[in-house]
Structure 1
Amino acid sequence: MAYKDFRDFLNTLEKEGQLLKITDEVKPEPDISAATRAASNLGDQTPALMFTNIYGYNDAKIAMNVMGSWPNHALMMGMPKNTPLKVQFFEFARRYSTFPMPVQREETAPFHEVEITEDINLFEILPLFRLNQGDGGFYIDKACVISRDLEDPENFGKQNVGIYRMQVKGKDRLGIQPVPQHDIAIHLRQAEERGENLPVAIALGCEPAITTAAATPLLYDQSEYEMAGAIQGEPYRIVKAKDADLDIPWGAEVVLEGEILAGEREFEGPFGEFTGHYSGGRSMPVIKINRVYHRKNPIFEHLYIGMPWTETDYMIGVNTSVPLYQQLKEAYPNEIVAVNAMYTHGLVAIISTKRRYGGFAKAVGMRAMTTPHGLGYCKMIIVVDEDVDPFNLPQVMWALSTKLHPKHDVIVIPDLSIMPLDPGANPAGITHKLILDATTPLAPETRGHYDQPLDSPPGVEKWEKIIQQLLQK
């Protein structure tokens, strides 16, 4: 099921009716972002968009909303596009458990077709445009950024592939936001403590498996390339960079090689964020680009970010939920049923669990807040019974409405860490966190009247399958 490269995935989307080509002339601003925002507003079945006639950019092609729906997410996994979300979750969890998948090393890659080492001008190479009206400049926000642990450079797992926003600051200069909770911040600290620049490679227009892995909150020594292989079911292909000891996704459309300049900071932002707010301006590190490769007539992939839901929510929904699920299963293997952390990158997470005894669900919520992702996100945890589907919001709201007692089941934990982009943090990076226990009380908790639950009629599951099959015809 593995896709050869980014174009292979786009071809699959087109065959499945999940790619809409827009051939009429559009302006980079505001048309491309406006069209992508409109697609997000139309629901969770919308196609990717391909713009092929862009005013001011001869022959440029820009792909948007590539992973911006559950059908496209299913196709990323090689599953039928009508696969239900809950089925996608458990299949992703099954593949996640096959990690690590060995990589496949190649000598050359398609992006080696064109190489630029002098007079680099990103404004000429890339079709740049602002995503939101208040953005402080042009941004690259769906590229895989590769860096390596300088203290343990032979450890393949400690090479990081992550997605970080980057503002184009000049012809060969980018600003980057290395969030403290993310791995690249560790690598940058190591480099700056040595007084060295940090080598990086930036890959744009990649196969969806590595983009998904790069957006997954893995443990520090877990390789995104080995996880991408697990996601796609076969070894992921990589190729060495020329300027540094870094591995690059083989199927990328465009690659920038450079280095984060030690000790240099420049004003960056504001930027319209996944929280639905502008991030404001901050002093951020700077990347100097030394080499560019790209395919002939490259396809530029971009990601619109704004008020949820947008592509980013589909792209990081399941792959945020599954690591939390697996890490909680390690602590409570017989109790955890499913985890839904799809809302605003897991600032809210819903956990379905069995209970051992009264108060157990609250402990599950606190454990979630101490996972690698929970430390910087997971501001609110909702815990529900094992028979409540955390992906079915009406069921979750029913549990909150009928099981939660405001006096006993609302736990506020003061002054914990949170990502600085959370607009409710005060000061930035610090917030109170909340656990809502919407599970049925269990001894020694004996309050409430829950001894007469309503059962569904016999045969409901059989009829669900029958109706789904009829709808697919």
Structure 2
Amino acid sequence: MAHADLREFLETLRKNDQLLEYSDPVRPEPDLSSAAAATTNLTDRGPALLFDNIEGYERGKGRVALNVVGSWPNHALMLGMDTDTPVKEQFFEFAERWEAFPGQVEHRADAPWQEHALTEDIDLFQLLPLFRLNDHDVGCYIDKAIVVTRDPDDPDHFGKQNAGIYRIQVKDKDRLGIQPLAAHDIGLHLRAAEERGENLPVAIAIGNEPVISTVGGMPLAYDQSEYEMAAAIQGAPYRIATAPLTGLDVPWGSEVILEGEIICGRREIEGPFGEFTGYYSGARSQPVIRISRVSHRTDPVFEHLYLGKPWTEMDYTLALNTSVPLYRQLKADFPEVVAVNAMYTQGLLGIISVKQRFGGHAKAVGMRAMTTPHGLAYCKVIIVVDDDIDPFNLAQVMWALSVRFHPQHDLVTVPNGSVLALDPSSDPDGIVHKVVIDATTPISPETRGHYSHEVSNPPATAAWETILKGLIK
């Protein structure tokens, strides 16, 4: 199931009728982002999009791929599973593969992005088919690239090399703005470099196979390698290569590699930008990157991520790589946790199913979710349900909320909790009340309600689900 590069995965999508290739002329704005938004608006089984006839670029050059993992069938193909695999099965498969961490990493010297190199007269607007994603974005962004930095205090520690995804504003021909949050690994690297009075070397890999793009947004521990996790998830050694200017390890199969430095002490206004919350973020003072070298394949494919009001490709990409870490962290403390669905707005809302041991148990699980590494900045609303409820089945969750939740007894409010500043409800930025909604059946010593005689499925329901699954196409 391992894909060497983006092109190989696009071919897998093509063979499974999950790639739509569009050859009529399109404008960079607003056609490209509009097409991506339309795809996810229409269906949760939408195809990836590949455009090869973009105004302002020679036919076949400046190709743009969108919505690459923007549906559950595409996500399943990334995992080497059938396109009809239910979300819950994908969740448990993802969680099982996590157990193989750390996977093996293979260093190679024959990276395809070495075909062309540019060190002078760099103009990113000419090299890349850039466009604004949403109407009021301050400019063009690169938002699905793997950004690689090293810990300046421990540069030889492979696990402390970070390969993450951060929003990048193209500010000039060879100058970028980046948003490295202080709690993120890149933020720690930048602080260490600036305390030394040094620039921070950085490599930006554009156009990658989907596993590293998924892992790049995963809340791993500081000393855990994204490349070793990608190897575990794909079930095969992960290929990397050395970026020639910075010496950083980058994905072997990337389409484009940008290398440069984050400039020590320099800050410029970055934003506004239409974010995954469905609202524009404000303008903030952020660090600046100076690009000194570009390496790229012949006729590179520029992969972009449309994000805005959910659901978009970002929600599919981050769905399970957010849910599984929370699941593992919670299960370590509470073995009774069955599954975690933190797919909604990157885990600002999460649903946890748990097999209760005593009254109040579910509320404790919900509050623990808020103190996990990811939960500190997210997990604003936690819904806890019984183990007979599939947290990925919203009809079941809504039923539990309707009949098992009592507003007087089952609402826990945590005042003035931490949250990411991008949450538009936070006031001041980064502070918000959080809530646990206990939608489980009361058990001793809680004895309220009338839950003694629940309706169950007819006895042959499971057998008929199997029969009908084979008949319904």
- Equivalents in 2 of 1:180, 1:215: separation in Å? 16
**Aligned residue for 1:175?**
177
By how many angstroms is 1:118 displaced?
A: 1.0
By how many angstroms is 1:245 displaced?
A: 3.7
What secondary structure sits across from 2:409 in the alignment?
Answer: coil
- Equivalents in 2 of 1:191, 1:463: separation in Å? 61
What secondary structure sits across from 2:181 in the alignment?
Answer: coil
**Aligned residue for 1:98?**
100
1:352 aligns with 2:353: yes
So what's the TM-score if we normalise by structure 2? Answer: 0.98
By how many angstroms is 1:243 displaced?
A: 2.2
**Aligned residue for 1:138?**
140
**Aligned residue for 1:450?**
451
Please, which of 280, 283, 286 is the counterpart of residue 281 of structure 1? 283
- Equivalents in 1 of 2:297, 2:306: separation in Å? 23
CA shift digits 1:66-99 (9 cap, x unpaired): 1110000000011111111111111011101111
Q: 1:147-158 to 2 correspondence within 5 Å? A: 147-158=149-160
Q: What letter is aligned with 1:372? A: P
So what's the TM-score if we normalise by structure 1? Answer: 0.98
Q: What letter is aligned with 1:222? A: Q
1:5 aligns with 2:5: yes
Q: What letter is aligned with 1:8? A: E
- Equivalents in 2 of 1:229, 1:466: separation in Å? 36
- Equivalents in 2 of 1:419, 1:51: separation in Å? 34
**Aligned residue for 2:427?**
426
- Equivalents in 1 of 2:118, 2:333: separation in Å? 50
Verify the 8 A CA contact 1:414 1:432 in the aligned structure 2: yes
- Equivalents in 1 of 2:212, 2:13: separation in Å? 17
- Equivalents in 2 of 1:437, 1:124: separation in Å? 54
- Equivalents in 2 of 1:372, 1:130: separation in Å? 32
Q: 1:45-56 to 2 correspondence within 5 Å? A: 45-56=45-56
**Aligned residue for 1:298?**
300
**Aligned residue for 2:463?**
462
Q: For this pair of structures, how many residues does the alignment match?
A: 471
By how many angstroms is 1:452 displaced?
A: 1.2
What secondary structure sits across from 2:274 in the alignment?
Answer: coil
Segments of structure 1 that go 5 or more residues without pairing to the other structure are none
**Aligned residue for 1:221?**
223
What secondary structure sits across from 1:345 in the alignment?
Answer: helix
Q: 1:60-99 to 2 correspondence within 5 Å? A: 60-99=62-101
CA shift digits 1:180-230 (9 cap, x unpaired): 332111111111111111111100000111111101111111111001001
Segments of structure 2 that go 5 or more residues without pairing to the other structure are none
CA RMSD of aligned residues (A): 0.9
1:18 aligns with 2:25: no
- Equivalents in 2 of 1:324, 1:441: separation in Å? 24
**Aligned residue for 1:316?**
318
- Equivalents in 2 of 1:396, 1:32: separation in Å? 35
Verify the 8 A CA contact 1:143 1:202 in the aligned structure 2: yes
**Aligned residue for 1:163?**
165
- Equivalents in 2 of 1:49, 1:405: separation in Å? 45
Verify the 8 A CA contact 1:179 1:419 in the aligned structure 2: no
Verify the 8 A CA contact 1:348 1:381 in the aligned structure 2: yes
- Equivalents in 1 of 2:325, 2:222: separation in Å? 13
Question: After TM superposition, which residue ranges in structure 1, 4 or more long, deviate above 6 angstroms?
Answer: none
- Equivalents in 1 of 2:307, 2:347: separation in Å? 16
By how many angstroms is 1:445 displaced?
A: 1.1
By how many angstroms is 1:57 displaced?
A: 1.3
Q: What letter is aligned with 1:158? A: K
- Equivalents in 2 of 1:57, 1:354: separation in Å? 57
By how many angstroms is 1:108 displaced?
A: 2.8
- Equivalents in 2 of 1:174, 1:41: separation in Å? 31
Verify the 8 A CA contact 1:181 1:376 in the aligned structure 2: no
